[in-house]
Amino acid sequence: MHLQRKRALLFSPGPPERLIVFANFIYLIIALLIYTTYYPPDQPNFQAMDAAFLAVFLVIIFAAFTRIRFRGIEKRIGRESFIHLDQQFSSALTRHSILAIGFFTCTLYGLSLTTFTARIPLVSNFPTLEALICLSLFLLYMVIVWICAWFPYEKLYHSGVSLRAYVLSQISFSIPVILPWVIISGTSDILQALPFELPKKLLATSTGQILFFLFFLLAVALTGPAMIQKFWRCRPLEPGPVRSRIENLSRRAGFTFANIVYWPVLGGRMITAGVMGLVRPFRYLMITEALLEFLSPEEVDAVVAHEIGHVRKKHLQFYLFFFTGYMLISYTLFDVILIAILYIPQLYPLIEQVQGKHSTATSAFFSLGAVLSFLIYFRYIFGYFMRNFERQADTFVFTLFNSALPLVTTLEKIAVTSGQPANKPNWHHFSILERINFLRKCEADRSWISRHDRKIRGSIAVYLAGILLIGALGYALNWGDTGKKLNAHLLEQVLLREIEKNPNNPVAYNVLGDSYVFRKKFEMARQAYEKAILLQPDNYSALNNLAWILATSEDASLRNPGRAVILAARAAELKPTSQILDTFAESLYRNGQIDEAIYIGEKALLSATGDRSYFEKQLDKFRQALENP
């Protein structure tokens, strides 16, 4: 490149592209969260053709509004200051990306999009395909934003990037963020479609789902970088002095990788570098052409040292851990939202999704919770660690060199080329001025490095303590007695609401009785079962459960073994399963009819499948009562 062109590009201002790339990651993940927490209604709001027409209409409205907004910025270029226009452009890009999420949500919820996609045979068997169709709609909205944004972008920043290259670059650097989910979800679909029962049984349990997710998340985290760098069309850095210099520095730092590749983000015009990959066979050091063209060899060394610092300080492993931590938090949050519904009477209508009602409002409630938790977590927790990890990677330069001056001059060049104020921070980096000032403090007093390392270790310890507490809460809510009681109370509230609307529903009374039994409210359970039997005399489940209470209750006012025998006999006549026969035998035993109890107990044992030890103990009890009256 000619020196004149180098100078022109080096000192021409440019947008914060790396920040834009991070933002696109966030937008796509939010769209995925909205989709995964959406629960379609039993009946769509519109017919298929009407929904399709409205979907197209929404796209047209969004495109027109977005074009008008960016066209207005384009017209003001040359008449207003660059700084003001740069702020206007960044603001418009952010607002219209958020607006794209809003239009996508309206299409998904208002038009019941998945109700129609589920009718496609292949899609109904592979839910991941349905997700990709829905996310493609969101991507269409984002492509409209990028197309409209390119015109003022090119005129304002003189990037030299074509419209096609700009849009394709935005797409290619956004899509890989959902790659782990696509692989995990797609693999689950395939396992469900295969004619093998073991994988299906495993995925039907919470433990199996967690183990499956963690296994494939780790697998994708290890091997994903190889696929991503192919998807991004990265090409190896050619042999020569630059590559040899980087390889020598890497060997000196004990840093290994699969390859050094060009990173073609926005045509490679950004002065940036990156590293991805947890293990050496799938680890890639990525650098842009602009970095090699605009920085001196010493500055390139400093940037590479920064990236090596991320690996040597285990930042990539921590990022994976922080992502897993978010999954744990969101998993627990789901239960917390249910508890909130329990104790806020005004929200009770939302839980009527059990009967297929208010499902859209309920899923919107969970979507809102998921999106808010995601934004808070990544903005404040993940962002905190990203900022401090970047600072720690900056200070790693002192491990390899006596001075960080080349990194300081690199940051100064980035400040000039970005056109952004040097003191402007963002959620995942300290401002350039803050980074430079800290490096200068470390230059004067190296103890600042160890202080920052201690700060990070302390922060990680606090984070781990918090995650352990949240994990304990999640375990208690899902597998502990607390969670079982809360779930029973939730079910009770749902059933009471259903009974209030449909007082002649025997199934609701029967299940309500089961809930009361679990919570040891036996008198209330008796009343519920009595009502179920009154409404449906042949309800064998209610007959059996009421018989058990009347036969075995420790409350003398509830015990009535004679009636228990009558109820259990009727239940056994209707459905002679081992459990119902056991209730019949126990009722006979409690009523003093030992011979009959042994006879029915033998029938219960013969009909039992699986573990028969309980029925054997019951039969032994009956026989001992006969031998020792």
Mean pLDDT of 69-78: 93
Of residues 322, 238, 224, the one with CA closest to residue 276: 224
% of the chain with per-residue pLDDT over 90: 42
Query: pTM higher than 0.75, yes or no?
Result: no
Per DSSP, the residues of 30-57 read HHHHHHHT----SS-SS-HHHHHHHHHH
Residue 593 has which token pair? 């009819």
Check: CB of residue 351 under 8 Å from CB of residue 494: yes
Q: How confident is the model at residue 349 (pLDDT cuts 50, 70, 90)?
A: very low
pLDDT at 523 over 70: yes
Single-letter amino acid code for the residue at 353? Q
pLDDT at 577 over 80: yes
Lowest mean pLDDT among 33-37, 358-362, 600-604: 358-362
Check: CB of residue 533 under 8 Å from CB of residue 545: no
**What pLDDT does 10 receive?**
36
- Cα distance between residue 360 and residue 379, in whole Å: 28
Q: What is the DSSP letter of 419?
A: -
Q: How confident is the model at residue 357 (pLDDT cuts 50, 70, 90)?
A: very low
Mean predicted lDDT score pLDDT of the chain = 84
**Bridge partners of 76?**
none
pLDDT at 477 over 60: yes
Cα–Cα distance list, 80 to 14, 94, 155, 158, 371 (Å): 16, 21, 13, 16, 37
Q: Hey, CA dihedral for 158, 164, 169, 174, is it positive or negative?
A: positive
- C-alpha 48: how far from chain center: 30
**What pLDDT does 451 receive?**
97
Cα first-last separation, the chain: 105
Lowest mean pLDDT among 14-28, 191-205, 238-252, 413-427: 14-28
**What pLDDT does 212 receive?**
75
Residue 467 has which token pair? 């995650």
Of residues 264, 255, 263, 303, the one with CA closest to residue 287: 263
**What pLDDT does 365 receive?**
66
pLDDT at 141 over 70: yes
pLDDT at 497 over 80: no
**What pLDDT does 368 receive?**
75
Helices (H) and strands (E) in the chain — how many of each? 29, 4
Strand order in the sheet with 235-236: 235-236, 259-262, 284-287, 273-276
**Bridge partners of 284?**
259, 276
Mean pLDDT of 469-488: 71
Q: How confident is the model at residue 3 (pLDDT cuts 50, 70, 90)?
A: very low
**What pLDDT does 128 receive?**
85
**What pLDDT does 358 receive?**
46
Mean pLDDT of 4-15: 38
Name the region of 47 (left: φ>0; alpha: ψ -120 to 50; beta: rest): beta
Single-letter amino acid code for the residue at 558? L
Q: How confident is the model at residue 465 (pLDDT cuts 50, 70, 90)?
A: very high
**What pLDDT does 629 receive?**
67
Higher pLDDT, 198 or 521: 521
Q: How confident is the model at residue 204 (pLDDT cuts 50, 70, 90)?
A: low
Residue 125 has which token pair? 């068997």
- pLDDT, one tens digit per residue, over 413-462 is 887 776 667 787 777 788 999 999 999 999 999 999 999 999 999 999 99
Check: CB of residue 467 under 8 Å from CB of residue 325: yes
Q: How confident is the model at residue 362 (pLDDT cuts 50, 70, 90)?
A: low
Check: CB of residue 89 under 8 Å from CB of residue 97: no
Q: How confident is the model at residue 479 (pLDDT cuts 50, 70, 90)?
A: low
**What pLDDT does 420 receive?**
66
In 189-346, DSSP assigns E strands to 235-236, 259-262, 273-276, 284-287
**What pLDDT does 245 receive?**
96
pLDDT at 612 over 60: yes
Check: CB of residue 155 under 8 Å from CB of residue 218: no
- Cα distance between residue 627 and residue 625, in whole Å: 6
Higher pLDDT, 377 or 218: 377
Reduced to 3 states (helix: H, G, I; strand: E, B; else coil), residue 554 is coil
pLDDT at 14 over 90: no
Structural domains of the chain in order of their starting residue, each with its CATH number: 1-173 (no CATH), 314-395+445-501 (no CATH), 504-627 (1.25.40.10)
Name the helix (H) or strand (E) containing 434. helix 432-444
Q: How confident is the model at residue 597 (pLDDT cuts 50, 70, 90)?
A: very high
pLDDT at 545 over 90: yes
pLDDT at 364 over 50: yes
Of residues 25, 143, 153, the one with CA closest to residue 89: 153
Reduced to 3 states (helix: H, G, I; strand: E, B; else coil), residue 166 is helix
Of residues 118, 104, 120, 136, the one with CA closest to residue 42: 118
- Distant-in-sequence, close-in-space partners of 71: CB < 8 Å, separation ≥ 6: 148, 151, 152
pLDDT at 297 over 90: yes
Check: CB of residue 141 under 8 Å from CB of residue 104: yes
Residue 550 has which token pair? 């009347």
pLDDT at 469 over 80: yes
Lowest mean pLDDT among 20-34, 51-65, 594-608: 20-34
Mean pLDDT of 579-604: 93
- pLDDT, one tens digit per residue, over 393-418 is 999 999 999 999 999 999 988 877 76
Q: How confident is the model at residue 536 (pLDDT cuts 50, 70, 90)?
A: very high
Q: What is the DSSP letter of 377?
A: I
Check: CB of residue 526 under 8 Å from CB of residue 549: yes
- Cα distance between residue 168 and residue 356, in whole Å: 41
pLDDT at 160 over 90: no
- Distant-in-sequence, close-in-space partners of 150: CB < 8 Å, separation ≥ 6: 163, 166, 167
Q: How confident is the model at residue 341 (pLDDT cuts 50, 70, 90)?
A: low
